[in-house]
Every structure is written in C-alpha cells, then in structure tokens.
Amino acid sequence: MPIITQFLDAILPGDIALGAPSASELNIQASFKEQGLMVQMDELISFIEKVSLNEFNLFLGDINIEQYLFCVERAKRKKVRLANNLILHCFKVYYTHPQVLRGLSTGSVPPFPAGNTIESDDWLTLEDVFKRGPIFREVP
Amino acid sequence: MEPVDILIVGSGASGAAAAWSLSRDSSLKIVCLEQGGITDPNKYPSTSHQWELTKQKSASFDPNIRANKADFPIDASDSPIALANYNGFGGSTILYSGHFPRFHPSDFAVKTLDGVADDWPLSYQDLAPFFTQNEKMMGIAGLVGDTAYPEYESLLPPVPLGAGGKRMAKAFNKLGWHWWPSYSAMNTHHHQDRPPCINLGPCNTGCPQGAKGSVDITYWPEAKKQGVEIRTECAVFDIVLDNKGRAKGVRYLDKKGIEYFQEAAVVLLAGSGIGTPRLLLNSKSPAYPDGLLNNNGLVGRNLMLHPLAYTEGVFEQNVNSSIGPHGCCILSQEFYESELKRDFVRGYTMQILRGTPPLEAAMSSYLTRRLPLGAKHHQAFSKIFNHNMGIAIISEDLPEWHNHIELDSEHCDSHGIPGIKVHYTMHENTKNMLKHGIERSKELFSASGAKVVSAFSPVKHAGWHLMGTARMGNDPKNSVVNQHGQAHAIDNLFIVDSSIFVTSGAVNPVATAQALTLKICEELRKNIKTLVRS
C-alpha cells in the first residue's frame, strides 16, 4: 500500500488553499483492491520504477514528487491505456467522494436535502429578439 | 386471459400519453405491456454522492452497458452514432434531459418548402391543440412569445438561466441572433401534485424530487386512475394475426419466461423508433415473411437520429454552471430554417447546456490534456469546473433509405428475442450543417468571453432521438401507417411513437411524439367504431 500512496500523492496531492484533500487521505488505495486492480497497479508501478532507474538511476523510494510525476508522464507514453485506466479510476473515486464534493462548491451535495438557488432573470434582455419579429416560416 | 379492447405495447412517452387519452372513455378496457420494471425514485442515482459512477454503469443510457434484463443488445458498429434509450416503466423519459420544444410549422412541409424528403400528412396547426394539452400534462416551463414559433398559450415560468446562461444570452444579443429560455419539462412551481425543481443538475439519471416531468409521474397516475392496467416486465415478441389478417393480440413473456397470449380488439404500438420496428420485424407470418407491415420493405428503414455537434467553452469567472437542470437553459433557432446562401438545406437548433458535473469535468478535461496531474491539478480543475458551458447542435436528419435497423439474431436479449443491428451513415447535408453549427458555436462563445476548449462532431453516444422507422403517409406504397397512425394493411393495428415521423425536425422529438399520440388516440377514442371494423 505505501507504494500506491506514493503514486496517489504524486498525481492527486492535496491543496490546502483550495480545500482539496489528497487522494491518499481519502484512502483511495483500498479501492484498487476492491475493484480487482492490484495486478494492473503493480504492472504500472513496476514500469514507473523502470523509467526512474533509466532516467535518474534511482528506485522509486528515492525520488521526489516532481521526479515521480515525470516518470508517470513518461510511463503514460508507453503504457497509455494501462496508465489512463488507473488514473481515471482514481478520479472516479476522488471526484465522487463527499469530502471532495463539499470542498468544490458543487452546491448541495447528494442526497440533496436542500437544493440550490439560482437568481431570477430579467426577461427584458429578450427585447432585442422580440423586436426582430417572427423568424418561423409560414407554410402555404 | 380475458380479451381487452386496446392493448398498448410500451409505457414510455407515447405509451403513457396513449393510455391516458384512450382511458378517458371509461368503457374501454385497456392494458399496457412494458418490458422493463418500475424504477423507485428513492433509489435514483442522484440520491447518492456516487451518482456519476452509477451513470456510467447501471444508469447508463447505453443499453449495452446497462444490460438490464429488459434491455436488448444494439450493435451500432456500423454507425458513427451509438443509440441510447431506457427500457422500463416510463421509458426514456426517466433518463431524458427534459428539453421539450415543439417541431416548427415548416418541419411538416419540407418537400413543399425545400424540395427534400416528404411532407407529413398533417400540419403544425393540426397538432397545435394537442401540443398545448400535452404541455399541461407534462408540466412544461418556458416563456410565451417566442418569435421562432406561432404563439404558445401558456407555460410554467421558465427555468432560470444562471450566471453562465446570462452571459450566453448577452452574447446572442451582441450577435443579433435569436435565443429563448428553454422549453423544459421541469416544474418551476408546484404543479399537478409535483414539487418544483431545486436546481440540482443530474436530471439525466432520474429526478428523485419528481420535478422533472417523466411520464411515470405525469400521465401514468392519471391513466391508472382512469382504469388502465399496466403489466411490467412483460416482453412482447410477436403480434399475432387472425385468419382474416387482422391483429388478434400479442404473445409475450413475463419475468419468469412464461409465455402468454393477450387478445385485443386494437393493438397500439408505442415501443420507440427502435422498439416498434424490432417487434414488427420479429412478427413474421406467411402473409408477412419479412416482418409485419414490411411488404414494401419500409419497416426499420429511414432511421433518423439527429446527429449532434458539441462545443465547450470555459469562462474565466466562476459562473456556477454545474447548478441547475443540465439540458435546460437556452435554445436558439437562429439557424433553424433553410437559407439559400448556406451549403445545406433545413437547419439546426443550438441548445445551450450547463456545465458538467465534477467527475465528468475531470475526466473529459484530463483526456483532452487540459487537466494536469500533480501540484497544478487542483488549481487547473478549479478553473474548469463551474466555469464551463456547452453548446449542442441538434441537426435535422433527413430520411434516407439506407439508414436502417435490422434484427440481430446472433445477439439476443435475456428472453432470447433478437437484438438489433444499426446501419447508419451521415449525409453530406448533415455534415455541412454540423460544421456550420460548430463555427457559429465558436463565434458565440467568443462573443460571450469564453474560451473554446473542445469542438467536435458527431457526438458518438448521443443517439437518443430515434425516428422514422415505420413512417406515416397517405400512400401505402411508401408509408407504413396513415395519418391516423393506423397501419395501411391492418386496420386494428396502430403505431403512435416517433417511428412514424416522416422527417426529424431539429429539436428533441418528445413533445411532437406525444402531441401526435394524443391526436391519434383522440381520433381513435371518438371514432373507434368507424376506424376499426368490429
């Protein structure tokens, strides 16, 4: 799991100013196991480590976040389907998590007890349209 | 099983309107057979924070992904557009966006006006009273006085535009183009025992609040009160003829796979632009070896889909665009009618869409390389989410013989009934129209101050509007039913759904399909003895 945590912290780190938690804080790690994605994850991380060894001559445990992200981007070029599948899985869990939704100003968060208010409109803005007159075709 | 007077196949937009209209005559015994089950609004996806995930799986509008027991496989590998539907009580209105404009007068006379396709055997004026009746039943919000239509009588107050919609409205004014608040099947105040919309956004997975006018909560409660019996999870697979060649009833399978025969004096089909031809093609007999009513080879032909183009713009400012009914904001008919100087005939609607919800925004912007991973991710996302708006171009699709569906016996539903295969190509006229629409969409976003981040056509997963596969007309040689929805060949067999459309218009078809249903059913109810030989 620590290996997956490093991956998550690289791709979806937290942002305190924006109220966004990191993916690892939300325990997205567990979802890989639940969804049967561990084999794919192992394959991707092995490949990322291979890139790291090639580019920096360092194992994953020895590189910083920027270097890790660089390796992810390189890995994506070679294993685009595998990488995107796992990254999109992270998005799916992250962007449906109530803690994330509340931080995003999505308005009311499901199960939607309250709803949202939208300010009313001034329909005088339609005056220009109205002045131009009918635009539908009459049928003889 | 006791014979009934009228048997309706399908409980969706048209089946529900038919059930309500026909049951106004309390002497008629009416049964409706629906292949899907009843959905519980308390369990709609948007009651959970994971609703966007459910939308991609069990609440998907793609039946191949959803794969419910009632769904039949649709092979669209020979089509640039995949078909969308929902098989269940209430039909596709459970998942539709609720965008509810009428066809225009010119849509019924394209041959006369533009020399293409065919005129309908009826006019806008013939349907006008039924449009009004339907809008009252469905609870349609909007604003009267639209210059793109003859006068509407009355509507519920319009759905609010929101900050993004207001910017788009100003842009339309700047360019001198028509725009109007959307015609929306959304209660904007308490109407017919249903509460008002509370501007959440996820209308396309079902509305648990009951503010969106889906037919399970509009027509059906009234139809049931008037005595209609609805049998769900009953898959009709064959229309049976008697020895005089008239419809005798239907054969269907219940959820346990037990076969029944339901006799009826009148059989009325409302299974949608693909469900109805599928049933007809599957109903083979010595008199109709290629499928019922298919002696001229018309059943399943002339499929029209409304190919869409999509353009997305992003505002620098937060316009709270994820809030409010996604598909109901503004429509423009500026480019609806034919104009000689263009390289296409007929035209299109510009439908302004609100912003995408969080997961969809993240996934689409990541896949189009607009959303980085790492430290800059959240900052970049905060400039997309609630900042984006969309424009859908709904193009008029002209009927073409080669665009068709056929039975696919290699891929069957859970009962072993064949699925369908779609063969569809886009006409040059449509391609030119979509290209024009994308250019105008870019112009509009530019006038609004938004940056265009995506523009493409056709939209693959957008084949919601299924029309033309059992067309109506006066001549039995080139149509399946007459202007009363009555099969030319079998006087007690009627079709009321959008499969009988002659042309497609360039707006969402449900308002017109339901108005047409109401007209056909009122005529049938009042003249059943003269229309149908006893």
Mean pLDDT of B335-364: 97
- Asked if B147's CB is within 8 angstroms of A132's CB, the reply is yes
The answer to whether position B107 is within a domain reads yes
| Cα distances (Å, whole numbers) of residue B236 to A115, B32, B70, B216, B257 | 40, 11, 11, 20, 11
Q: Please name the member of B46, B112, B162 whose beta carbon is closest to the beta carbon of A118.
A: B162
Q: Does residue B62 lie in a domain region?
A: no
Domain that holds residue B415: 4-48+79-533
Structure confidence at residue A110 as a pLDDT band (50, 70, 90): low
Closest alpha carbon within chain A to B320 = A106
Distance from CA of B39 to the nearest CA of A (A): 17
Give B131-170 pLDDT, tens digit per residue.
999 999 999 999 999 999 998 989 999 999 999 999 999 9
Nearest to A26 by CA among A86, A98, A103: A98
d(CA B440, CA B214): 32
At B4, is the secondary structure helix, strand, or coil?
Answer: strand
Whole-number Cα distances in Å, B117 to B358, B382, B499, B502 = 42, 48, 16, 8
> What percentage of chain A reaches a pLDDT higher than 90?
81
- Whether B93 maps to a domain, the answer reads yes
Q: Do A84 and B367 touch (CB under 8 A)?
A: yes
Is residue B241, in this structure, part of any structural domain at all? yes
| DSSP per-residue letters across A11-71 | HS--BGGGTBPPTGGGTHHHHHHHTT-HHHHHHHHHHHHHHHHHHHS--GGGS-HHHHHHH
pLDDT, residue B350, reads 98
CA–CA dist B299, B293 (Å, integer): 7
Q: Return the bridge partners of B350, or none.
A: B332, B393
Confidence of residue B532 (pLDDT cuts 50, 70, 90): confident
Q: State the helix-helix crossing angle for A2-11 and A65-78, rounded to 10 degrees.
A: 90
Q: What integer pLDDT is reported at residue A1 of this predicted model?
A: 58
For residue B1, the tally of other CB atoms under 10 A from its CB is 9
Structure confidence at residue A72 (pLDDT)? 96
Q: What is the DSSP letter of B92?
A: G
Residue B175: how many CB atoms within 10 A of its CB?
A: 17
**What pLDDT is stored for residue B202 in this prediction?**
86
Phi-psi map region of B102: left, alpha, beta (phi>0 left; psi -120 to 50 alpha): beta
pLDDT band at B200 (very low <50, low <70, confident <90, very high): confident
Rounded-to-integer distance, Cα B286 and Cα B281, Å? 13
Chain B touched by A100 (CB under 8 Å): yes
What CATH number did the domain enclosing B306 receive? Answer: 3.50.50.60
CA A47 – CA B84 distance, rounded (Å): 38
ipTM of the prediction? 0.94
Q: pLDDT exceeding 90 applies to what percent of chain B? A: 95
* Out of A95, A116, A139, closest to residue B112 by CB: A139
- The pTM of this model reads 0.96
Residue B60 placed within a domain: no
The strand pair at B74-78 and B418-423 is best described as parallel
Residue A108, pLDDT above cutoff 80: no
Q: Which residues of B touch A109 (CB under 8 A)?
A: 49
Say whether pLDDT at B533 is over 70.
Answer: no
Structural domain total, chain B: 1
CB contact under 8 A, A128 and B173: yes
What average pLDDT does chain B have? 96
Note whether B178 contacts A125, CB cutoff 8 Å: no
CB < 8 Å to B182, chain A: none
Among B107-111, B203-207, B256-260, whose mean pLDDT is lowest? Answer: B203-207
Which positions ≥6 away from B513 have C-beta within 8 Å? B13, B14, B496, B497, B498, B501
In a domain, B270, yes or no: yes
Beta bridge partners of residue B420, listed in sequence order: B74, B407
Question: Is B327 domain-assigned?
Answer: yes
pLDDT tens profile B448-490? 999 999 999 999 999 999 999 999 999 999 999 999 999 999 9
Checking if the pLDDT of B530 tops 90, the result is no
The CA distance from B463 to the nearest CA of chain A, in Å, is 25
* B49 band by pLDDT with thresholds 50, 70 and 90: confident
